[in-house]
Structure 1
Amino acid sequence: MSATLHAVERPNDADITATGLAALEARLREDLAWLDLPAPAWVPPREIDGQRVLDVAIVGAGMAGLAIAAELRLLGIGNVQAFDTAPAGLEGPWLTHARMLTLRSPKQLAGPALRLPALTFRAWYEAQFGREQWDALYKIPREQWMAYLRWYRSVLDLPVRNDARLALLHPRADGLPELELASTGGAQERVIARHVVLATGREGTGGPALPALAANLPAHLRAHSSDAIDFAALRGKRVGVVGAGASAFDNAACALEAGAARVDLFIRRATLPAINKLTGIGSPGLVHGFADLDDDWKWRFLHYAGQSQTPPPRDSVLRVSRHPNAFFHLSSPLETLGLEGETIILSTPKGRYELDYVTFATGFHTHIDTRPEFAAIAPHVRRWRERYSPPASLPDDELANSPDLDRRFAFQERKAGACPALARIHCFNHAASLSHGKVAGDIPAISDGAQRLARAIASMLFDADRERHYAALEAFDKAELLGDEWTDADAPAPTPSF
């Protein structure tokens, strides 16, 4: 027997450059077809009181939310919906409070591509600008990264609803989570889901961390680095920035570039951190092995990385230091902060400073009980401090407040049986770091994290419907053999009829 194979001609790099995204999108469709993806839908539909129950509701449609939505769809879990507070195209931090010029991550990282080469930023970039431009590209401009994520959402036709803010997440009596959603226009909606994924980024299940002294200033004279800031209004002003991380330098640079009269950076440490420790051991071993470490080693790794601190990018520091009206104050923790009229008076061990505005680039906390939308589940969520006591030499309140997640990124109960719905609420954001490693928000391992979580949800959905799947197994009756393919050599000869 012979067969003729008809080759499908694949566009080469020159063709992609010539024809742009259309050719790349054709290549992606071909790749998915050759991999037989997405898988056919297999999750039995479920209704409650006439309302279709979502298989998975995703809170957040930034990079992490899109990646998990995409992987779920590829696995044949089609009844998925992502919700995001922001207008379309403004999801995540990239065009709001992220103020760097370029991404920190190396340009060649695959990011949320889910091991599909045609879905990478590089493929998207080269399709439009060519190989030479890619080779010449230093780092990815922040705005281009957001444009890529918009394309990612579009080309995969991912289900995202914008202007949908989670007002309350609460457990139902039947063990399913229910989401109360609100829009800016005041419309409200209730959605029931079998699983909920909190893809809420760096803020995670907590919020901006502000030092207690910040309360001494009125809101119009201060901001957290994640707030919306009118930098144009800072022209001619004396601006203070508290912190030494990337966001401190990005916010300082924005103030300087907007025409601030001077910017003073107040840094607790005697010197800026210079070595990104976790980058030094980045590998598939870390990505896939961290979750299997025992508690002591998980704590030691993240405590050391946290105490060492991540240095601000060199480009961000140079962006500030090139301004003669930028002043770095090291060994300068805040001692007092107050007002004299509309003038801010800030003091450190190094001196007293008069300012017009202060930005606190002081990171985020992990206290889930400070978020009103989680008020119904927060009392039941077990934290690491309730399951692990670190050595006295390694104290870390941020780590201690991290949620204690199971192997499926799900919250666990403080008291067994008190809130079964927690097993269906998955924490896929920065708060997952101590339990799972840095796989739920950072560009380097976001695909690995999304695939780990999507497969866990697929397993849970199959197990929950095992009786229906078994019934389908029994009912399946499509014959592959029709009975005319063979004869039984030992069967008695048929009796002749007369």
Structure 2
Amino acid sequence: MSHPQEIPGGLDRLNERVRQDLQWLEIPTRPWVPPRMADGRRVVDVAVVGAGMAGLTVSASLRRCGIDNHIVLDRAPAGHEGPWTTYARMETLRSPKSLSGPCMGLASLTFRAWYEHRFGPERWEALDRIPTGLWMEYLVWLRTVLAIPVRNETALDGIAFREDGLLALRLLSGGRPETVLCRRLVLATGRDGLGGPFVPPVVAALPRHAWAHSADRIDFAALRGRNVAVIGAGASAMDNAATALESGARRVDILLRRRAMPRVNKFTGIGSMGVVLGFRGLPDGWKWRFMDCVLDAQTPPPRASVLRVSRWPNAFFHLGCGVESATFLGDGVRLETSRGRLDTHHVIAATGFSADLSQRPELAVIAPHIRLWKDRFAPAAEDMPSGIRYAELDHSPDLGKGFEFIEKIPGACPFLRFVHCFCYPATLSHGKVSGDIPAISDGAERLVRHIAESLFVADRALHYAGLVAFDDPELTGDEWTDTPLPAP
């Protein structure tokens, strides 16, 4: 998608405005966490895994709170963090263009400010939705203008807890092993943050070359002239079906288990600061009830994504069509469905993600200790209006007020509280503040305030010693003269 003509020097002027705004607000504020040394090297106060939108916002919020000694790690090359250049195959974002997003409440850091300075206010008024590629360019700018300390092509490979209370992170940086010591760890790892792609067992049993998940790097050019079956009813199903059609697929069949296409985006419909700030305070049953309603309705694909598919005469929608079995035939796949048989060449499972810690070997040390909602809470009938006990809710982590993990068995892994889950699986505990655009700044502020509090409390003896030792006088003694009281 071609960009509008850019305004010469527009972003330079915005960069100067951002610099001035940050200076006026004293951001970053003065660092205050006492430096800590171990094994002859400086300990990192906070390590953030993931340099997508969530990780960048956490980093910016840490600096705003004076926690400057932190790092952000991402396995992807620079400019390819998050899904936007890989499996996010939509043409535009779903979110309205006006949402403030990862700006920490600063107008000069919004997408609108970036877009208007780059292309002009008139182009902003004409813009409908944010093109996906431009959103990635905006995030790259945000990282640059805020000097976010990202280390790319660096993956978390494992975690170890030390007796001194530090976390030893085993990293693979450019393929080379490395260990970093830190005090707090934030997992800002996106939609599949505590698991991975969910693939129906009947599809997973096929030879691997016969199918793909919608989050895979798919060679769509190889599907030219072939038949493709896409399983799913969400945005990723439509975007992958459209990409296959646009790449020359001969026929694309979209198989929807439901008898009706989801049409209402429930959480968006009630979106407000009340939900953002109040969800965490709900009783457990009410949290479950809200999420049950959302999952039962399912999030619909954007209208533009569906039209992107339906305008093709060789695209076919099959509703009420659940896949019951799949057989590999040598040059294709035979699907037996609730509506009959379908022969195709390739299957794309646009079936979402699951919270499945077994898919995250880097979390193997902490996985057995993480308390899930199913370990503590059994929903009553009134908490499940759908009549379905969703596995997604059962397997959500039961998090503390600062997104920290809680031990399944108290005392079995006491340092687990130093690991924070700031990704989609936190939704049942905290609401939609850790992954989607609308409230990402509010979620990051909640997380960082908790981390700041915990670090200050942990270092209270050092801070008290600093208080006692502080003797920088504001008065020198020559500002007044001591005089006797007047005689009676």
Report the TM-score, using the length of structure 2 for normalisation: 0.96
For 1:496, the equivalent position in structure 2 comes to: none
Larger radius of gyration: 1
Q: For 1:365, which of 344, 350, 354 is the aligned residue? A: 354
SS state at 1:165 partner: strand
Residue 150 of structure 2 aligns with an amino acid whose one-letter code is: V
Q: Does the CA-based 8 Å contact 2:165-2:415 persist in structure 1?
A: yes
SS state at 1:266 partner: strand
SS state at 1:274 partner: coil
Q: For 2:144, which of 146, 154, 158 is the aligned residue? A: 154
Cα-to-partner distance string for 1:52-84 (whole Å, 9 max, x where unaligned)? 110000000000000000110111111110000
Residue 48 of structure 1 aligns with an amino acid whose one-letter code is: A
Cα-to-partner distance string for 1:406-432 (whole Å, 9 max, x where unaligned)? 001000001111112211100000010
Q: What aligned pairs does 1:20-419 form with structure 2 within 5 A after superposition? A: 20-184=10-174, 186-392=175-381, 393-419=387-413
For 1:447, the equivalent position in structure 2 comes to: 441
Q: For 2:416, which of 412, 422, 431 is the aligned residue? A: 422
Cα-to-partner distance string for 1:164-211 (whole Å, 9 max, x where unaligned)? 011112322333222111134x30101111000000000111110111
Q: Does the CA-based 8 Å contact 1:92-1:201 persist in structure 2?
A: yes
Residue 288 of structure 1 aligns with an amino acid whose one-letter code is: L
Q: Does the CA-based 8 Å contact 1:170-1:374 persist in structure 2?
A: no
- Give the Cα–Cα distance (whole angstroms) in 2 for the partners of residues 86 and 130 of structure 1: 32
Structure 2 residue runs without a partner (length 5+)? 1-5, 382-386
Q: Does the CA-based 8 Å contact 1:262-1:325 persist in structure 2?
A: yes
Q: Does the CA-based 8 Å contact 2:207-2:328 persist in structure 1?
A: no
SS state at 1:421 partner: helix
RMSD: 1.4
SS state at 1:455 partner: helix
- Give the Cα–Cα distance (whole angstroms) in 2 for the partners of residues 227 and 89 of structure 1: 18
- Give the Cα–Cα distance (whole angstroms) in 1 for the partners of residues 24 and 156 of structure 2: 38
Instruction: Note the C-alpha offset of 1:492.
Output: 9.6
Instruction: Note the C-alpha offset of 1:157.
Output: 0.6
Residue 130 of structure 2 aligns with an amino acid whose one-letter code is: I
- Give the Cα–Cα distance (whole angstroms) in 1 for the partners of residues 153 and 141 of structure 2: 19
Residue 410 of structure 1 aligns with an amino acid whose one-letter code is: E
Instruction: Note the C-alpha offset of 1:290.
Output: 0.3
Cα-to-partner distance string for 1:200-257 (whole Å, 9 max, x where unaligned)? 0001111101111012211111111000000000000000000000000000000000
Q: How many residues align?
A: 477
- The answer to whether 1:464 aligns with 2:472 is no
Report the TM-score, using the length of structure 1 for normalisation: 0.94
Q: Does the CA-based 8 Å contact 2:403-2:420 persist in structure 1?
A: yes
SS state at 1:483 partner: coil
- The answer to whether 1:474 aligns with 2:468 is yes
Residue 253 of structure 1 aligns with an amino acid whose one-letter code is: A
Cα-to-partner distance string for 1:136-159 (whole Å, 9 max, x where unaligned)? 011100000000000000001110
Residue 456 of structure 2 aligns with an amino acid whose one-letter code is: F
Instruction: Note the C-alpha offset of 1:18.
Output: 5.7
Q: Does the CA-based 8 Å contact 1:177-1:425 persist in structure 2?
A: no
